Structure formats: structure tokens, C-alpha cells
Structure 1
Amino acid sequence: MAEVKVLTRDFLMKADCKTAFGDIEESLLWSSQQRAASLAATLAGRPSSGPVWIFGYGSLMWNPALEYEESCTATLAGWHRAFCLRLTAGRGTACKPGRMLALKEGGCTTGVAYRLPEAILEEELTLLWKREMITGCYLPSWCKLRLEDGREIYALVFIMDPRHALYESDTRAQIIAPLIAEASGPLGTNAQYLFSLEQELCKLGMQDDCLNELVRRVRDLLAGEKPGPEMKPGFA
């Protein structure tokens, strides 16, 4: 079995995006210049001179790999988690794609907000863009969050771009569970990501009903059992 690469700061700083995450279709791969232009455009829309916060709703919750000055659980209204990104690298391949998490319109999402140090802001965001914007699949957006302590802030949120070539509209559990159960790549298995998400939400006392059926189906598939009957879907 190939060695699984760990997504650390050191890995991200040294990684060659063409090879480090697996084989990415050249037409989809963003250059460092494209990422820099996207970051500059995003910062140009910064809503205020206040601190920059990042909202983590997936792996950023348990593995931010960022230098930050403060973290706080937070709620984002108007968007919900959905495995709507076809995963052909990282934890999947083009031959056996999985599904990665993103945000789609509707509902709300709980996660973790990180306040970045202004002195090293560009360095941290450049690293974050290298992690999240390899193919430019997200729309980095300034969204209002409500922190656990009642503060309201604007934070950078990575929302799925529905115009992207890797966007998948069908996120029903019975469709994506077999994909997640089978997919793997240089960063590990797709199922590991899903279970890490479930574990972190449980640790933080958060509930995401949309994930319950998906987690159950993937576990059943990995255990060699036939998934049970379809449950009433939430947002998908």
C-alpha cells in the first residue's frame, strides 16, 4: 500500500500541486499565478479593516494547518454541507472518483472560525489557497457568521462553484455512499474523511442530520452489508 501523505503545513509549503495530491487533469489545475490572482481579488473585497476570519466546516475543523490567534465555534446561515464535489485527487482518482465536501445554498452550517494574525495574513492565505483552490472549484466569499459567544463577524468561506467541471448536483446518500466507500488516494481514503468529519462534529457537540444516512450507508458498505432502506432526505 502506498504511503499516505499527511496534510501538514510543511507538506503544503513544499507540495508541487501537479503531483502531490495525485493526478489532476491539466485543464483543471490552477497555476500559482491563478491562485494569487484569486486571493488578491478576494482580499480586494474584504468588507472591513478588521481581522480576517476563516470558516472551517470540513477538514479545517480538525486539521486547520494555519497559524491563528483565536478560534471559536460558529454558525453560517444560508448554506449547508453537501458532498457535491467530484473527487479525482487527494482521496480519490479519476478512475475511481469519490466525493468531497462543499457548501450548497439553503439551511445552515455549524463549524469553527479562525482569526488570522494580520502580520502574516498573506502568507497564511497563500497556503490556504494552495490547499483549497488547486482547481479553483470554490468561490471564496465573505459571509456573516455568528460566533458561539454572540459576536457577528465576516469570514472567508469556501462555497462550491456550481459552474465548475467537478460539480455534482446529485448528493443523495444512496448515490454517493458507494463512491465514498471505494475511493482513495495519496491523502488516504474518502471514508476516512467522512468519519473524521462525523467524529469532529460529535466532539464539538454539533449535529448535521444530512450526514447521518450517508455515514450509516458507508459503514454498512465497508462492513459488507447491504445498506438499509432510504431515509427521508434533508438538504442534498
Structure 2
Amino acid sequence: MDEFWVFGYGSLMWNPGFSYEERAQALMLGYRRSLCVRSWVHRGTQECPGLVLGLDHGGSCRGVAFRVAEANREETIDYLRQRELVTHVYLERTLPIRLSDGRKVRALTYVIDRGHHQYAGSVSVGEAAEIVNRAVGVSGPNPVYVANTVAHLRELGIRDHWLEQVAAEIERLEGVA
């Protein structure tokens, strides 16, 4: 049977929540990391939605891939579905990625459903920062999510200039408050 990989581009990179046998940086083509999901649960509420990351069409995305033991495949998929499909804003897909050592594998990941009412589309840096700055959900404050993601991307040597600009604007807004 084929190896089972999971691709993380947001909080899964630093908080996967499942057991894995191998972890590697990876590149996915055709999708980009984007704060394009109105979060009604983890980082916001329906009354005051936050913004969380989704894989949106276009560009490429550097993230982290996890190889999961075959014995843990179903348990991991069940866990990820509970975590990622709370409001069904994501579509579960198995897509090709290239690992940092050059291997090409397929990985389970979650891409945004552009037809879902929680899809925020493209927002400006300022708009994203204002939305994130005021939102809190069951997993905590939205600004912490953005800061943790940027910090972990930097630790991995991955630059996401747009997300870094959003984080800097959030810091500026917090300094003003």
C-alpha cells in the first residue's frame, strides 16, 4: 500500500495532533496559503468571525508533510476530519507534493471550498489585521494563531511576506489599543 502523508500549511505544521513517523518540508503547486476562511469556531464566532488559513487556488505553498504509519491511517483521518471539517468550509483532497529531499508523494490536505459562505476571498493586509485582531474562538485568540504560524514559518526558513505583513499590522493595532 502507498505511504500515507498529510500536508500542513497552517497550524498543522506546529500542532499536528496526530502521531507520525516522518516530518519533512514540502512544496505544493497550484495552491497558496491564504487567510481566506472566516472562522466561526476555532478562532472566532459567527457574531465576530476570525480569519484562518486555507489553501486557495493559484501559486504555490511551502509547508510540512507528515508520514503516518499505515496502522494509524484511519485514526488520523478521523481526527483530521473532526478538526478540519467542523463547518465543512474545507474540501478533503489528496494532492501531489514534493518533499524537500526531492521525493514526490501524494498527501491528504484540506483546500478551501470557494463556494462556501465562510470563504472570505482576498482581503487586504489592513482588513485582515482588523478582523484577526478582534476575534477569539474555542482554540483561543485569532492574533495568537497568526503570530504562531508566522513564527513557525520563520523557524522553518519559510517566508510568507503577506502573512508577515498582516502579523506586523496586528502588532501595530495592539500597540495602539
CA distance in 2, matches of 1:51, 1:136: 26
**Equivalent position of 2:159 in the other structure:** 207
Q: Equivalent of 1:121, from 73, 78, 90?
A: 73
Q: Describe how 1:24-63 pairs up with structure 2 within 5 A.
A: 49-63=1-15
1:120 CA displacement: 2.2
1:44-69 Cα shifts (integer Å, max 9, x gaps): xxxxx311100000001101011111
Q: Describe how 1:1-16 pairs up with structure 2 within 5 A.
A: none
Q: Equivalent of 1:82, from 24, 27, 34?
A: 34
1:220 CA displacement: 0.6
**Equivalent position of 2:143 in the other structure:** 191
Letter in structure 1 aligned against 2:141: T
**Equivalent position of 1:148 in the other structure:** 100
1:153-212 Cα shifts (integer Å, max 9, x gaps): 111121000011211113211212101011012211000000000100011111112212
Q: Equivalent of 1:73, from 10, 15, 25?
A: 25
Q: Percent identity?
A: 36
- How many residues align structurally? 177
**Equivalent position of 1:178 in the other structure:** 130
- The answer to whether 1:218 aligns with 2:164 is no
- The answer to whether 1:158 aligns with 2:110 is yes
* Conserved 8 A contact 1:91-1:188: yes
* Conserved 8 A contact 1:81-1:104: yes
Q: Equivalent of 2:49, from 97, 100, 103?
A: 97
* Conserved 8 A contact 1:145-1:153: yes
Query: Alignment partner of 1:223: what SS?
Result: helix
List 4+ stretches of structure 1 deviating above 6 A.
Answer: none
* Conserved 8 A contact 1:177-1:214: yes
CA distance in 1, matches of 2:14, 2:116: 26
Query: Alignment partner of 1:78: what SS?
Result: strand
Structure of larger gyration radius = 1
**Equivalent position of 2:83 in the other structure:** 131
Consecutive unaligned residues of structure 1, counting only runs of 5 or more, are: 1-48, 226-236
| TM-score normalized with structure 2 length | 0.96
CA distance in 2, matches of 1:208, 1:154: 23
CA distance in 2, matches of 1:166, 1:157: 18
CA RMSD of aligned residues (A): 1.2
CA distance in 2, matches of 1:196, 1:51: 29
Which structure: greater strand fraction? 2
* Conserved 8 A contact 1:82-1:171: no
CA distance in 1, matches of 2:7, 2:137: 26
